[in-house]
Amino acid sequence: MRLLSAFLLAALPAASMAAAPIFNLQSQDFTDNAFLAKKFAGNNKSSAACTGDNVSPALSWSNAPQGTQSFALLVTDPVGGKGLGVTHLVAYNIPAATTGFAQGELTQGKGYTGGKNSPGTQAWYGPCPPVGSGMHHYNFVAIATDLPPEQLKAGLTHDELVKQLKGHALGAASLVARFSNDTQE
């Protein structure tokens, strides 16, 4: 019996025994569920809650699903806006050959088509949680799609992009960062 089991295992292709690599999103600027540095927060002199430099954190991804033609990136704060949610970045039409953005690149609005975030810009707009609102969690989501780059028009909101990606999303990877104006690092 052992000989038969050993023979059957040896006969299986190695690929069937190894799991496919997992689509992964990471940042050299923060680890999953860690605090964002203040420089990544929004910068708006008319808002006391926007105390940072509005520098986008570096993001990179690997092991995209087979058939990926483009990526989208969404950054949201689900409890921002008094629980209605705040969108900080809507970026899409990112070519499949792209594997990330360096620190500050998402703020510049280059290398992707910008959608409309909650503050109304088409580039990174960092966290600006009001003092007294506690810890906020920022969800960074990379979505692999089967849509060719430049397929989608500029200026889509978060919800409009999600609607356009239905039936075209191949997989997603996420990362969470935390930030508050109530605590000091």
Q: Quick: pLDDT tens for 69-94.
A: 999 999 999 999 999 999 999 999 99
Read off the pLDDT band of 13 (50, 70, 90).
low
Percent of the chain with pLDDT over 90: 84
Confidence category of residue 7, pLDDT binned at 50, 70, 90: very low
Tokens describing residue 105? 């690149």
pLDDT at position 17 is 54
Separation CA 153–CA 90 (nearest Å): 12
pTM (2 d.p.): 0.88
pLDDT in tens, 162-181: 999 999 999 999 999 999 99
pLDDT of 2: 52
Cβ–Cβ < 8 Å for 147, 78: no
- For residue 4, what pLDDT is reported? 42
And the tokens for 54?
Answer: 């509005």
Three-class secondary structure assignment of 96-148: CCCCEECCCHHHHCCCCEECECCCCCCCCCCCCCCCCCCCEEEEEEEEEECCC
Environment class of residue 51 by beta-carbon count within 10 Å: exposed (0-12), middle (13-18) or buried (19+)? middle
Q: Per residue in 101-157, pLDDT tens? A: 999 999 999 999 999 999 999 999 999 999 999 999 999 999 999 999 999 999 999
**Distance (Å, rounded) from C-alpha 91 to C-alpha 174?**
15
